[in-house]
Structure 1
């Protein structure tokens, strides 16, 4: 399935029904009073989070959503029927913005969260509502009010506990395929991963967490280079950042600083998250080098774990560190 994490839609709530102008016409009652009924309210447009959805793909094909109009009032004091609400289902983790000014209207995180995004119009009053001692036969009624209309931008931010961050071809997809049932595309060239991948890691009996493989960053990503900012939003909700750095890099610490800079340039608050540094492809390093790399310091409390996703070396140690941090038992940073 194609992964779509941003969409633009228009919504229109139903207009309220008009009030009715009517008078009683019955045998032996030549001058019946007003009996125009009230118009009904228009349907509202609601957005609802649904855990069964994981992409905004549906909004690529349908971009306009309208709720039902309220019925007009009728004679004999009969009110109209209210318009039916329109429910727009979105994946959990969807942020909805006003397209006119970019402001966030609502952030739907949990399954079943809902919000009225466009309010239906009010029904107008019939002429029966306007009868007074001095005007017993009002020949006017109230029109219904229009329903709200909006242009919206939907942004999906994946909900994951751990986010994998690194340069293209650092081994992120290989790692997530080893520790979870996720099967992303893996190849020996940069930008193999073009969309985020989620995997469920079953750490132990009754203990599991979700890991997200984010497409690779390059220097200048915050300014739009490579895949740019397209997928950085997906790590904003993660609790732990795992930086994957190729062990054969000429300068491991420089690579780490570049990744930190790209994240802080996008959103400085991201750097407040707990961090783990993973040195990948350690199967091609000498034993002495592995021990030296494992002792490298990347910051206060930041654990360094050399691994090989191919041979499985160090993978269990990495999962242990992830679980420690997620459960609140990791080192202070």
Structure 2
């Protein structure tokens, strides 16, 4: 017999190493994950409780960053992807620092493809694309980025945030919270 522990969270974070997943968890919840300026700082999944409005909350799960081929067993990707199967929604976190809009689209598509290769049903849980680290961009660059990535918004809600400086995170949390409330009403 083999037992397998899967974290149970409302929302899971999907992203490459060093995209700011742990920074987002720290900025929106009471959790205090390790944050450093190198890839693979997060070595195991962690949970945080996110409060929104006055009396509402949800649980968010930070999983280690995924690399190409994770769905096929490269690294520890399969172990981490399994945690996302227990969530009700997924936020895809993209680091926008020093990237062209086309690179951001490609990275988003690559992460979605990894999910799809692992379990097609998980793709239906992806509701948000979070463009992180906007504090490193000019307002003009942010506007351009939002304009050029809006075609992704046909399937996903796109948010530009700075997890580090808590820019745009309150709106994101509120939208996620309301989405989860609507899911509860459908049950």
Q: TM-score, normalised by structure 2?
A: 0.90
Counterpart for residue 282 of structure 1: 134
Instruction: Rate the CA distance shift 1:166–1:233 in 2: closer, same or farther, 3 A.
Output: same
Counterpart for residue 85 of structure 1: none
Counterpart for residue 298 of structure 1: 152
Asked if the contact 2:92/2:126 (under 8 Å) is kept, the reply is no
Counterpart for residue 164 of structure 2: 310
Question: For structure 2, which runs of at least 5 residues remain unmatched after alignment?
Answer: none
2:65 is aligned with 1:216: yes
- Which runs of 4 or more aligned residues in structure 1 lie more than 3 Å from their structure 2 counterparts after TM superposition? none
Counterpart for residue 323 of structure 1: 177
Question: For structure 1, which runs of at least 5 residues remain unmatched after alignment?
Answer: 1-151
2:51 is aligned with 1:202: yes
Distance 2:84 2:20 in 1: 18
Q: TM-score, normalised by structure 1?
A: 0.52
Distance 1:158 1:292 in 2: 37
Q: 1:183 aligns with which of 23, 27, 32?
A: 32
Q: Secondary structure at the match of 1:159?
A: coil
Q: Secondary structure at the match of 1:328?
A: helix
Higher RCO by CA contacts (8 Å cutoff, separation 6 or greater): 2
Asked if the contact 1:247/1:280 (under 8 Å) is kept, the reply is yes
Counterpart for residue 93 of structure 2: 244
Tell me how far 1:324 sits from its aligned partner: 2.6
Tell me how far 1:217 sits from its aligned partner: 0.3
Tell me how far 1:274 sits from its aligned partner: 4.2
How far does the alpha carbon of each residue in 1:123-173 deviate from its partner, in whole angstroms, 9 at most, with x for none? xxxxxxxxxxxxxxxxxxxxxxxxxxxxx1111111111101000000000
Flag the structure with higher strand content.
1
Greater Cα radius of gyration, structure 1 or 2: 1
Tell me how far 1:293 sits from its aligned partner: 2.3
Q: Secondary structure at the match of 1:298?
A: helix
- CA-based RMSD of the aligned residues comes to 1.4
Q: Secondary structure at the match of 1:216?
A: coil
How many residue pairs match? The answer is 178
Instruction: Rate the CA distance shift 1:274–1:177 in 2: closer, same or farther, 3 A.
Output: same
Counterpart for residue 257 of structure 1: 109
Asked if the contact 1:239/1:274 (under 8 Å) is kept, the reply is no
Tell me how far 1:306 sits from its aligned partner: 0.6
Distance 1:243 1:228 in 2: 15
Asked if the contact 2:53/2:174 (under 8 Å) is kept, the reply is no
Tell me how far 1:327 sits from its aligned partner: 2.1
Q: Secondary structure at the match of 2:94?
A: strand
Give the alignment of 1:75-94 within 5 angstroms.
none
Distance 1:237 1:326 in 2: 14
Give the alignment of 1:1-333 within 5 angstroms.
152-248=1-97, 249-250=99-100, 251-295=103-147, 296=149, 297-328=151-182
Flag the structure with higher helix content.
2
Tell me how far 1:233 sits from its aligned partner: 0.7
How far does the alpha carbon of each residue in 1:292-321 deviate from its partner, in whole angstroms, 9 at most, with x for none? 223422153411101011211111111122
